[in-house]
Structure 1
Amino acid sequence: MNENKESKIDYGIILSIMLLAIISIATLFATTYMIEGKGLQITIMQVIWYIVGIIAIVVIMQFDSEQLWKLAPIAYGVGLLLLVLVLFFYDRPTAAFTGAKSWFKIGPITFQPAEVMKIAFILMLARVVTRHNSEYDEHFVKADLLLIGKIIAISLPPLILILLEQDLGTTLVFLAIIGGVILMSGVTWRLLLPLFLSISALGGGLLFLVVYDRSFLLKLGFKPYQFARVDSWLDPYHDAADAAYQLIQSMKAIGSGKVFGKGFGVSEVYVPVRESDMIFATIGENFGFIGSCILIFIYFLLIYQMIRICFDTKNEFYTYISTGVIMMILFHVLENIGMGIGLLPLTGIPLPFISQGGTALLGNMMGVGLIMSMRYHYRSYMFSEEREGF
């Protein structure tokens, strides 16, 4: 009986999250208190948000697949409403600093609806794809075109609203989620190949216009700061004192850590916004290449555990949920670390479970809760079947 209860909880995921929480709190303490002398408020708030996230995981684990299925359209609708409201009631000082109209502010607490909307969107996307596949047993071009049309229909509203907030980084996360779910949905290669080639051509065309003719993109609504980020990515030292300053300082900090790092809380390189988007600079400088590899290995373990649960449960609705959550976390990790070392353009995406940011942390913890709910209710159902068999 005890073994049955214990096996309903995935302790591998719990261990991974605990290690990331320790790294997050320690790194924020080193960054904000020891290096920048800002006091303990940011570290304490991160601890509080982790507690809130743990509560969210426990609550979400109580929902089985049928309840999540019913909850999906409600959560999606509430998420869209919040995205609309934030366009009118966004925090002005935060928008002036970040350039994005993405945050509410209630007293000392800021809240970013798009982070929670990611989870609602994943649920709704999983529901739409599962229902479509239940109606069409075989994948043929007409049915797959209809599926892609349905995905576009539920994706456009949040994407448009987030673009209106001028939050390109979050938009890219949504696109990564959509891409992962489409690949897992079984859409025929006759559609996937042209779709992939079209997206590649579009991306290449935009990059060409950024380099050679920006006037057309400016007419479409692109902003000069977005061009500056591409410039910094292609040639970091073209404007080392301005647009590329943050990237260059990040690379200097990470490189100066060498193999073993300078030690906990030791920094000789100033990096702007080190506590959020550039938190990897502190890890690289303090703990070096070895410490950075350990962090990446913990992320690998977390993703591996999530994939394993997906295969164990054999539930199509859960499969698409887990795909969305995995793509969300994986894209954040790759983009944040990639931009910190100069491999990818700066997009303002935090490092999951590590960076300062309560809403982002809460959204990631909710995603973990969905994954753990799969194991929790799958095991419960399986054991009830075994008891009936005896």
Structure 2
Amino acid sequence: MVMQGVWYLVGALAVGIIIHFDAKLLWRITPFLYVIGLAVMLALLKYYDPTLAASTGSKNWFKIGSLTFQPAELMKIAYILMMALIITKHSVAHKVRSLKSDFGLIFKMVLVSIPVFGLVLAQKDFGTMLVFLAIFAGMFLMSGISWLIIVPVIVAAVVLGGSVIFLVTTDAGRELLTHVGFKNYQFARIDSWIDPFHDPQGKSFQLAHSLMAIGSGGMLGTGYNVSHVYVPVRESDMIFTVIGENFGFVGGAFVILLYFILIYRMIRLCFDMNNEFYAYIASGIVMMMLFHVFENIGANIGLLPLTGIPLPFISQGGSSILGNMIGIGLILSMRYQSADKQPIRRTRRA
């Protein structure tokens, strides 16, 4: 609890500093933040914490004494800024958009994403990889790319996702997926998602007990800090089970309502901004937080497979708190600085 409070104070300090960053400063420092982020992620492949890697299967944590830190949480912010920079530069350079210019933008977005995705895959952090993909998808949709491109991409993504789910349900399909990088623990998570009670004392222990904990909370919950069902890592990835058990359906619904208000306000900001660079940054932060909330709560209630994604501002973890607080700081800086900024006109299509 003490360290959690310290991280909130550090995050609040970061917000207080970032709120004074204007668009020009963000524009100038974004490439440096992106390169520094890649360098730190690259260093992590050698200097990761072996103890956490052995227990989680992912090489995504630094450890300095008793302090652990996950650089990917800050890389998400650097990635959002870099993507916003690329999209804005392209829009300004191509005031009349065409399919050719749209494909050029997609190429630039993919080029910026490849090093990030490659490093995350090398760290074997599937959950974080999904977050980066969600950020990419959200900014892709907001970038003004023609629906003649977006619709086929969405259809292809749905077909690919459906095909993977189908392959997971067959032995031959699993063998094929193993050859392309799927691991046994990932199959176990999907099995638990499909049938949480098929092995409640074994591979599906976490999800089965998560559902029992939330169910035991009923309408009003068991009371603050009164838990009767043991759920592993309930302080971080499974924190929503604590909310559901302690405060029931009413408490869980209230938390979801707060997230809805926060995300709604950020979405409104995307459309209210006259500065296109700000709008793209806001859209990336919205997608990051929206995916975190949807995936974490969805996994806790059995709607989605477990991926180890924390719940923003609630899950234990300093790097997650700091990354989300920086995101909020950027949103607040847009409001704080918007009165002094000249609008960047949105482009029109030929």
Larger mean CA deviation between 204-213 and 287-296 belongs to 204-213
Whether 1:87 and 2:40 are equivalent positions in the alignment is no
Whether 1:123 and 2:81 are equivalent positions in the alignment is yes
Larger mean CA deviation between 131-140 and 264-273 belongs to 131-140
**In structure 2, what is the equivalent of residue 55 of structure 1?**
13
| Among 23, 35, 59, the residue aligned to 1:65 | 23
Give CA deviations for 1:119-176 in whole Å, capped at 9, x if unaligned. Answer: 0000000000001111112332111111111111001111111011110110000111
Whether 1:246 and 2:201 are equivalent positions in the alignment is no
Q: How far apart, in 1, do the equivalents of 2:73 and 2:314 lie?
A: 15
Gaps of 5+ in 1: 1-42, 383-390
Whether 1:365 and 2:325 are equivalent positions in the alignment is yes
| Among 229, 235, 239, the residue aligned to 2:189 | 229
**In structure 1, what is the equivalent of residue 134 of structure 2?**
176
**In structure 2, what is the equivalent of residue 337 of structure 1?**
297
SS in 1 for 2:169: helix
Give CA deviations for 1:301-342 in whole Å, capped at 9, x if unaligned. Answer: 111222233333311000000000010001000000000000
TM-score (norm 2): 0.95
Q: How far apart, in 1, do the equivalents of 2:167 and 2:150 lie?
A: 25
TM-score (norm 1): 0.86
**In structure 2, what is the equivalent of residue 10 of structure 1?**
none
What is the CA-CA distance between 1:200 and the residue it aligns to? 1.2
What is the CA-CA distance between 1:244 and the residue it aligns to? 0.9
Whether 1:270 and 2:243 are equivalent positions in the alignment is no
Contact 2:275 2:341 in 1 (8 A): no
Q: How far apart, in 2, do the equivalents of 1:322 and 1:281 lie?
A: 30
**In structure 1, what is the equivalent of residue 219 of structure 2?**
259
Identity of aligned residues (%): 54
**In structure 1, what is the equivalent of residue 242 of structure 2?**
282
The amino acid across from 2:140 in the alignment is: I
What is the CA-CA distance between 1:238 and the residue it aligns to? 1.8
**In structure 2, what is the equivalent of residue 17 of structure 1?**
none
| Among 276, 284, 287, the residue aligned to 1:327 | 287
What is the CA-CA distance between 1:381 and the residue it aligns to? 5.0
Larger helix proportion of the pair: 1
Q: How far apart, in 1, do the equivalents of 2:176 and 2:233 lie?
A: 32
SS in 1 for 2:96: coil
What is the CA-CA distance between 1:234 and the residue it aligns to? 1.1
Contact 2:269 2:279 in 1 (8 A): no
Q: How far apart, in 1, do the equivalents of 2:121 and 2:183 lie?
A: 12
Give CA deviations for 1:195-217 in whole Å, capped at 9, x if unaligned. Answer: 11111111112112222121111
| Among 94, 105, 116, the residue aligned to 1:158 | 116
**In structure 2, what is the equivalent of residue 134 of structure 1?**
92
Q: How far apart, in 2, do the equivalents of 1:381 and 1:220 lie?
A: 48
Whether 1:78 and 2:36 are equivalent positions in the alignment is yes
What is the CA-CA distance between 1:274 and the residue it aligns to? 0.4
SS in 2 for 1:231: helix
The amino acid across from 2:292 in the alignment is: H
RMSD between superposed Cα atoms in Å: 1.1
The amino acid across from 1:119 in the alignment is: I
The runs of at least 4 consecutive aligned structure 1 residues that moved more than 4 Å come to none
Q: How far apart, in 2, do the equivalents of 1:311 and 1:216 lie?
A: 44
**In structure 1, what is the equivalent of residue 251 of structure 2?**
291
What is the CA-CA distance between 1:99 and the residue it aligns to? 1.1
Count matched residues: 340
Give CA deviations for 1:3-46 in whole Å, capped at 9, x if unaligned. Answer: xxxxxxxxxxxxxxxxxxxxxxxxxxxxxxxxxxxxxxxx1111
Q: How far apart, in 2, do the equivalents of 1:187 and 1:90 lie?
A: 38
Alignment of 1:205-224 (within 5 A): 205-212=163-170, 213-224=173-184
What is the CA-CA distance between 1:380 and the residue it aligns to? 4.5
Q: How far apart, in 1, do the equivalents of 2:287 and 2:69 lie?
A: 23
Larger mean CA deviation between 166-175 and 198-207 belongs to 198-207
Q: How far apart, in 2, do the equivalents of 1:245 and 1:231 lie?
A: 12
SS in 1 for 2:63: strand
**In structure 2, what is the equivalent of residue 9 of structure 1?**
none
**In structure 2, what is the equivalent of residue 193 of structure 1?**
151
Q: How far apart, in 2, do the equivalents of 1:312 and 1:146 lie?
A: 27
Q: How far apart, in 1, do the equivalents of 2:341 and 2:179 lie?
A: 56
Q: How far apart, in 2, do the equivalents of 1:255 and 1:89 lie?
A: 42
**In structure 2, what is the equivalent of residue 143 of structure 1?**
101
Contact 2:200 2:209 in 1 (8 A): no
What is the CA-CA distance between 1:194 and the residue it aligns to? 0.9
What is the CA-CA distance between 1:271 and the residue it aligns to? 0.5
What is the CA-CA distance between 1:378 and the residue it aligns to? 1.0
Q: How far apart, in 2, do the equivalents of 1:88 and 1:342 lie?
A: 35
